[in-house]
């Protein structure tokens, strides 16, 4: 697919050199910076927040794709919007009022999306399709980088692709379909064939730096494998 977007997850980057790391992935052709926010409540891990988003914002032109693994969600939305986030996604079970949270994200000028865990059914999308700019399917249980891709994501991707295509055929807006977890050169082709247009890759990208610290080789390898 010519429109494939690759979103390196900085969860696997060198946090001591984060500015350099995001500049390096942009130079290597990354389409988005995937920014994993964990709160040690919704998921059993603790990562980065709006201050870090604000700190990396001036280092890159590409959009910052904020994946909120936090509960509750709403109070963080204005903070991330102010910190320069472009896309904000959250897990529906982490918000009491999913429709309201989606509206809140758009009201703050960001693209909005829902993230579905491997065991979360697609039903939750039914009544909010018109409020979605992105659907993110987790292909691992959220909380950690470097986990193995869960194969049941593939039929789920095909079903989601059908939902999106139907929505568009009926005059609805475009919705990006992103996959997150365990994406590598050896499985990206079947992930894209199943309907994903945006692939997060954390350990695959940041675990494979070129000798000069760039990421051109792995980014090219992912695109070639997907083609």
Query: Interface residues with ligand DX5 (CB under 6 A)?
Result: 9, 11-12, 34, 36, 67, 140, 142-143, 145-147, 180-183, 200-204
Of these residues, 31, 39, 133, 180, which one is catalytic? Answer: 180
Residue nearest to Zn ion (CB): 67
> Rounded to an integer, what is the distance from CA 147 to the centroid of its chain?
15
Query: Which entry of ligand DX5, Zn ion, none binds 140, CB below 5 to 8 A by partner kind?
Result: ligand DX5
Calculate the dihedral angle through the C-alpha atoms of 208, 210, 216, 221, rounding to the nearest 10 degrees: -50
By CB under 5 A, residue 36 contacts Zn ion? yes
- SS3 assignment, position 76: helix
Give the interface segment with Zn ion, choosing from 22-30, 98-106, 176-184, 207-215 (CB under 5 A): 176-184
Phi, psi angles (nearest 5°) of residue 112:
-115, 145
List 180, 183, 195, 196, residue binding Zn ion (CB under 5 A): 180
Supply the minimum distance, in Å, between the C-beta of residue 9 and Zn ion. 5
Active site residue 36: yes
Cβ contacts of residue 35 below 8 Å, gap of 6+? Answer: 9, 10, 48, 52, 53, 64, 65, 66, 67, 85
Look-up of token digits 């910190």: 83
Q: Which residues bind Zn ion (CB under 5 A)?
A: 36, 67, 180
The residues annotated with a catalytic role in the active site are 36, 180
């Amino acid at each position: 697919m010519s429109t494939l977007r690759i979103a390196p997850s900085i969860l696997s980057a060198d946090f001591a050199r984060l500015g350099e790391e995001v500049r390096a992935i942009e130079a290597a052709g990354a389409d988005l910076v995937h920014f994993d926010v964990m709160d040690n409540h919704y998921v059993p891990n603790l990562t980065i927040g709006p201050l870090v988003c604000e700190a990396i914002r001036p280092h890159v032109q590409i959009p910052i794709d904020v994946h909120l693994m936090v509960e509750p969600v709403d109070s963080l939305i204005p903070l991330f919007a102010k910190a320069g986030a472009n896309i904000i996604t959250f897990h529906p079970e982490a918000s009491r009022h999913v429709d309201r949270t989606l509206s809140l994200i758009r009201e703050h000028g960001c693209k909005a999306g829902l993230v579905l865990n491997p065991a979360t059914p697609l039903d939750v999308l039914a009544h909010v399709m018109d409020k979605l700019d992105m659907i993110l399917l987790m292909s691992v249980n959220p909380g950690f980088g470097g986990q193995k891709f869960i194969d049941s994501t593939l039929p789920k991707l095909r079903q989601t692709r059908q939902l999106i295509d139907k929505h568009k055929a009926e005059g609805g807006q475009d919705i990006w379909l992103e996959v997150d977890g365990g994406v590598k050169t050896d499985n990206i082709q079947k992930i894209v064939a199943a309907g994903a247009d945006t692939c997060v890759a954390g350990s695959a990208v940041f675990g494979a730096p070129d000798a000069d610290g760039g990421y051109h080789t792995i980014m090219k390898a992912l695109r070639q494998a997907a083609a």
